A = this chain, B = another copy of it.
Amino acid sequence: MKEKESMALSVKKSEDISTWYTEVIQKAGLADYTDVSGCIVFRPYAYAIWEKIVKAVDDRIKKMGVENAYFPLLIPEKLLKKEAAHVKGFSPEVAWVTHAGDSKLDERLAVRPTSETIMYESYRNWIRSWRDLPLKINQWNNVVRWEFKHPVPFLRTREFLWNEGHTVFATKEEAEKEVYEILDMYDDVLKEYFALYGVKGKKTEKEKFAGAEYTLSIELFLPNGRAIQGPDSHYDGQNFAKAFDIKYLDKNEKEQYVWQNTWAITTRMIGVMLMIHGDDKGLVLPPKLAPLQIVIIPILFKDSKEKVIKKAKEIKEKLKDYSVKLDDREEYSAGWKFNEHEMKGVPIRIEIGPRDIASGQVVLVRRDTLKKEIVKIKDLSEKVKKTLDSIHNNLYKNSKKLLEGGIVEVKNMNDFKKAISDKKLVKALFCGEAECEDYIKDETGGASSRCIPFGQKLVTGKCVHCGKQAKYSVYFGKGY
C-alpha cells in the first residue's frame, strides 16, 4: 500500500535532523508548502496546537489585566519611519503594497512586520491623563517579514502568527516590573504546556530588539547544537513615547512621557517544540498541547469485532475528560494505525483485543518511551492521568538535560572556538561591547550572544575575547 510505505521516515533524527524535521512535518500532517516561498499552510493538526498555546497565554494575560484588540494590517510608510532604530531594523524585510486594483497608491503601505508604529499613533490620541494608564493591549495576528533565504516550516517563515502585547505605564517602575512578569508568564507556559526548559536572561546591546532599551528572552537549545530564541519581552523605556509624542497629565497636571513594553510568542515555538521532543518514529507531543491525547485502537477479528468495538466505546466514554479518539477504521490494519499515531505523536495509545476483554484489561503504550504496559480496565482512568503527567515531566526533564548538557564554560578563545565547532552552548565572561561581540562572531564562524542569564552574582574576571573587565557571564551559540 502506498500509504503504508509513506509512513516511515527515511532518516534517523540523530543522523540528519534537517531531513528528519522536514519529513516529519509533512508526514504528521502539520504543515505544507505553498507557491509563495517561505509561507506555509498551518494544517489543522498544527493549528490545533497553536489554538492551545493561544488559550494558555490568553488566559494568563487577561488575568494580568491585558485586553485584546485589532489594529490594521497595512501601515503607511511615513509611520514606519517615525522611530529611527525601529525602521532600520525592519525596513529591509518589509513587504510593500503599492497598488490597489489598477491604481497606484499615493503612499506605499507596509504589510505589518510588527505593529508598534500603527498602534502608538492611536495611543497618542487615547492617552490624556493618569486615569488612562496603565493601558495594556494585546493583538493575536499575522505578520510578514521577508527574510531568510532558506525557510523552514514554523522555525523560519516569512509570515507567522503571534501575539504582540503593547503596554503603557505612568512610571518606569511599573513598566520594568511588568517586563519581568511577562517573561515569567511565558516561562510558565513553556514549562506547563510545551514541556520545555529554557534559560531566562537579558539580551546584549547588540542583540536587543530594534527600538528597545533592553530585551528579555527565553533561550532554547536544539538537538542540532543550535540556539534559538523563544518568547521575548522588551522594555522600551520612553523611546517610542518620544518618537510618537505619547504623553499624559500626571496628578499634578504636569505633562509626562509614558513608559512602554512590548512582548511576543510566535508560531516558531511550535517548531522548537517539535524538534526537541520528536524521535525516530515521528512527533512526540507534550500532553497539554496534543490535539489528540489518547487513541484507542481495537484489534479486530471477524468473530469478535462487535464485542471489541463495544468495549472500546465504553473505554472512550470512561476517558471523555481527555481528548480521545476511537480509531475503528476498517480499511487500515492495526499495525498501520500504530505507525500513524506514533508519527503524529499521540501521547497514549490503548490497544484492546478479544483476549484483553476476557481478562478485563488493555495494553497501554506511552509515546515518549514506547513502553507497553498491561492495565486493568478498572484502573485505567487513574493510570491515564498518571501517565500523561509522567510523559509531560519526562519531556521537560529531557529538554533540561539537553540544554544543560550542551553548555560548556570556557576561559579562552581557543576553547570557545572548539566548543562552538562541537555544537555546544558556550558560557563565558564578556565585556558587553557590541564591537567585541562582532569580533567573536567573526572568529567563531558565526556564534552570537544568546543572553545574559538572570541570577548572576557580581562578576569578577576578564572578557573572554578582549581581556577587558567583564560585565557578566553570557551564553554564546550559533543561532538557528
Which of A's residues lie within 8 Å of B, judged by CB? 32, 34-36, 39-44, 47-48, 50-51, 67-76, 78-79, 91-102, 108-109, 111, 118, 121-122, 125-126, 131, 137, 141-142, 144, 146, 159, 161, 331
Contacts and interface: CB of A to CB of B under 8 A. Distances in A.
Contacts of A36: 72, 74-76, 109
B159 A73 contact: yes
A304 B108 CA distance: 60
Given A100-B146, A142-B141, A34 B71 contact: yes
Closest 6 CB pairs of A and B: A44-B67, A100-B146, A39-B72, A42-B70, A96-B99, A92-B101
Contacts of A32: 122, 125-126
Contacts of A131: 331
A125 B109 CA distance: 34
Nearest to A96: B99
Contacts of A67: 44, 47-48
B72 A41 contact: yes
Given A70-B161, A111-B73, A95 B100 contact: yes
Q: How many copies does the complex hold?
A: 2
A199 to B, nearest CB: 30
A121 B35 CA distance: 9
A32 B124 CA distance: 12
B97 A96 contact: yes
A45 to B, nearest CB: 8
Given A73-B142, A142-B73, A68 B48 contact: yes
Contacts of A118: 34-35
B141 A72 contact: no
Given A44-B69, A47-B68, A35 B142 contact: no
Contact of A100 (B79, B96, B100, B141): B96
14 contacts: A32-B122, A36-B76, A36-B109, A44-B69, A44-B137, A47-B70, A73-B142, A73-B159, A94-B100, A95-B109, A96-B100, A97-B98, A111-B111, A131-B331
A439 to B, nearest CB: 28
A387 to B, nearest CB: 26
Interface centre among A40, A41, A78 (most CB of B within 10 A): A41
Contact of A95 (B39, B50, B99, B121): B99
Nearest to A144: B73
A97 B109 CA distance: 9
A144 B74 contact: yes
A74 B37 CA distance: 10
Contacts of A142: 70, 73, 141-142
Contacts of A43: 69
Contacts of A68: 44, 47-48, 51
A32 B123 CA distance: 11
